[in-house]
Amino acid sequence: MGNDFRFMNKAMDRDSGYEVGAIGGIDEAGRGPLAGPVVAAVVVLTPDQHIDGVRDSKQLTPRRRTALAAEIRCHAAAWSVARAEVAEIDNINILQATMLAMRRAVEQLDQLPDELCIDGNRAPELPGYHGQTTTIVGGDRTCLAISAASILAKVVRDDLMLDLDRAFPNYGFAQHKGYPTAQHREALLHYGPCAAHRRSFRPVRQAIEAGGGCA
């Protein structure tokens, strides 16, 4: 897979202070679940950087993701993770909340790249960023920086869901991480939604309308 990764070696804009050839990859975790925040990560890599084993987070075991996340934090030129909370998702919708989390992640960077590559076909508004932005559908499979970001976002969000599982043990968050599995839907109907559920999502609304119990 390494030969398929996409790197762009851009010229340095010395007035803006961007590092030569540095690429920032942005990805998110948690758009589809019924509960928990959406998490975005950005990882900045230089063209000569390669972290062995990095690939789309969905192709890795949880243990391997955790190990690679530590490698990424140690070796990346810069990285950042941010999130949008459940209340924000319900207020502005999941797409806009995802864009918000991405923007927050970029704003937290202490080193801005020459180009930001975003997984998918939508890019967040980045008022403080003056480099190029590129959207790449399937970028977590073809861009090393995006793949690294997908790993960080997934590891951080999974850890957050473990915390929610301890706070709300009736729903099985540790197993399904908030996704709408049969187990999760049954728990929703039986107990009703908890504070971690996204009430703007249809299965959660349906559980409320069905009059499930109070968690």
The pTM of the full predicted model, rounded to 2 decimals, is: 0.88
pLDDT in tens, 5-50: 544 433 334 344 444 489 999 999 999 999 999 999 999 999 888 8
Residue located via tokens 């309308």: 209
Query: What CATH fold (topology level) applies to the domain 2-166?
Result: Nucleotidyltransferase; domain 5 (3.30.420)
Residue 138 has pLDDT above 60, yes or no: yes
- At residue 17, what are phi and psi to the nearest 5 degrees? 85, 15
Spell out the SS3 assignment of the chain: CHHHCCCCCCCCCCCCCCCCCCEEEEEEECCCCCECCEEEEEEEECCCCCCCCCCCHHHCCHHHHHHHHHHHHHHCCEEEEEEECHHHHHHHCHHHHHHHHHHHHHHCCCCCCCEEEEECCCCCCCCCCCCEEEEECCHHHHCHHHHHHHHHHHHHHHHHHHHHHHHCCCCCHHHHCCCCCHHHHHHHHHHCCCCCECCCCHHHHHHHHCCCCCC
CA distance 146 to 136: 9
Short-list 3, 40, 45, CA closest to 122: 40
Instruction: Write down the mean pLDDT value for the chain.
Output: 88
Rg (CA), the chain: 18
Q: Where do the structural domains in the chain lie, given as residue ranges?
A: 2-166, 168-209
Residue of 10, 7, 38 whose CA lies nearest to 25:
7
Q: What would the pLDDT profile of 140-169 be if each residue is shown by its tens digit?
A: 888 999 999 999 999 999 999 999 999 999
Q: Pick the residue with more confidence: 3 or 142?
A: 142
Residue 118 has pLDDT above 50, yes or no: yes
**Mean pLDDT value across residues 90-102:** 98
Residues whose CB is less than 8 angstroms from the CB of residue 176 and which lie 6 or more positions away in sequence, other chains included? 183, 184
Is pLDDT at 107 greater than 60 in this prediction?
A: yes
Q: How far is CA 61 from CA 2, 19, 57, 148, 178, in A?
A: 18, 33, 8, 14, 18
pLDDT of residue 19: 42
